[in-house]
Amino acid sequence: MTRAPDRPRVSADPVPLHRLDVPAPHLLPFALGTFDTIGPLSRASFPHRHSFHEVVYVAEGSGRHVVDSVCRPLRPPQLCVIWPGQVHHWELSGQLSGWVVLFNPDFLLTHPEDEELLRSLSAQPLLPLSDEQARGLTALLREMREEHEGGANGHRSVLESLLHVLLVRAARSVAAPAGGAPEAPDGTGRPPVEDRARELARDFLGRLALPDGVGLSVGEHAARLGVSGGYLTESVKRATGRTPSQLLREARVREAKRLLVATELSVRRVAGRVGYPDPAYFCRFFRRETGISPGAFRRAGRLPPAAVARPADSARR
């Protein structure tokens, strides 16, 4: 019998933040299993987010999957990817069965191109699978489980390779990511000239994905990353084509939307959490970026009361 491999810890954030805490002897920043073996949190009905990546294969089930307040009907077989920081929950009207793969960002170090695949896939709705694709995916997941539970020499590298295969196959069902995975002339898998810029941009984007990251300024992020503000701006723009300030504004809007819809925090408290101590300035910023006031956005996107997480609830999850 397989023990549930994840032991998520929950923060005091108004939207519960689950962290992947994998007990010994499974020391990899990686876990996988069925919905049943992973446990109830794998199909949680309350809005929450993760500090880790999650790939979900829904083999059977009915209801809806809600990601950042967008409801997506379940029509198995389907695959979905949840990026760290996205707020999601399940509204189920039937039994949910399938597979869940959980892993921290540092599990991607040998395949950095997989991060771009994950980012692209997380922006898609639930991905429909043909019967043939579903059978192939099930076989691949079973092989991953055997490798993970067996723990033979080199099992981490095998799991990394199998995860890469899973993501590449998933990407084939949608439009290929812009530019695809970069080819390196030296065969390393990454362009040598852009290595440092890509790594720094990845670290910056990873910080923005978590709720406490949007409250910091670009300068504060640069200091925590150990670089100057100018170097951070140059590197992020080279790697992404956009400035850190642009990415930070987008992350703040995204986080504000999540808090407005998924919690009962006041607009003042939402403003403070996304880096705006002055709520009036935050309201002007939000309206400029979205074309609607925070209050109007909350009223338009409010989830059913039973699905709204309250700060007091998070300590009990």
What percentage of residues in the chain have a pLDDT greater than 70? 81
Q: Kindly compute the dihedral angle of the four CA atoms of residues 256, 114, 230, 290, in this order, to the nearest 10 degrees.
A: -20
pLDDT single digits (tens) 142-183: 999 999 988 888 898 999 999 999 999 998 876 533 334 433
ω into 25 cis (within 30 of 0) = yes
* pTM metric for this prediction: 0.63
**Per-residue pLDDT averaged across 34-45, rounded?**
90
Out of 79-88, 190-199, 268-277, the most confident range is 268-277
Higher pLDDT pick, 137 / 302:
137
Round to whole Å and give the CA distance between 33 and 49: 19
Q: Are 79 and 126 in contact (CB under 8 A)?
A: yes
Q: Could you tell me if 54 and 101 are in contact, meaning their C-beta atoms sit under 8 angstroms apart?
A: yes
Contact 301, 261 (CB under 8 A): yes
**Strand 63-67 versus strand 88-92 pairing type:** antiparallel
Of 4-8, 25-29, 278-282, which range is least confident?
Answer: 4-8
CA 1 to the chain's CA centroid: 29
Cβ-count burial of 96 within 10 angstroms (0-12 exposed, 13-18 middle, 19+ buried)?
A: buried
Picking from 28-37, 251-260, 304-313, which range would have the lowest pLDDT averaged per residue? 304-313
Query: Residue 228 — pLDDT band, cuts 50, 70, 90?
Result: very high
d(CA 238, CA 244): 11
Q: What is the pLDDT of residue 278?
A: 95
| Per-position DSSP letters for 206-269, written without gaps between them | HHHTSTTTTTS-HHHHHHHHTS-HHHHHHHHHHHHSS-HHHHHHHHHHHHHHHHHHH----HHH
* Residue 207 to residues 102, 180, 234, Cα–Cα distance (Å): 19, 24, 18
Say how far apart CA 105 and CA 144 lie, in whole Å: 18
Q: How confident is the model at residue 185 (pLDDT cuts 50, 70, 90)?
A: very low
Q: Do strands 17-19 and 70-73 pair parallel, antiparallel, or not at all (unpaired)?
A: unpaired
Q: What is the DSSP string of 84-134?
A: TT--EEEEESS--EEEEEEE-GGGGTT-THHHHHHHHHHTS-PEE--HHHH
Mean pLDDT of all residues in the chain?
A: 80
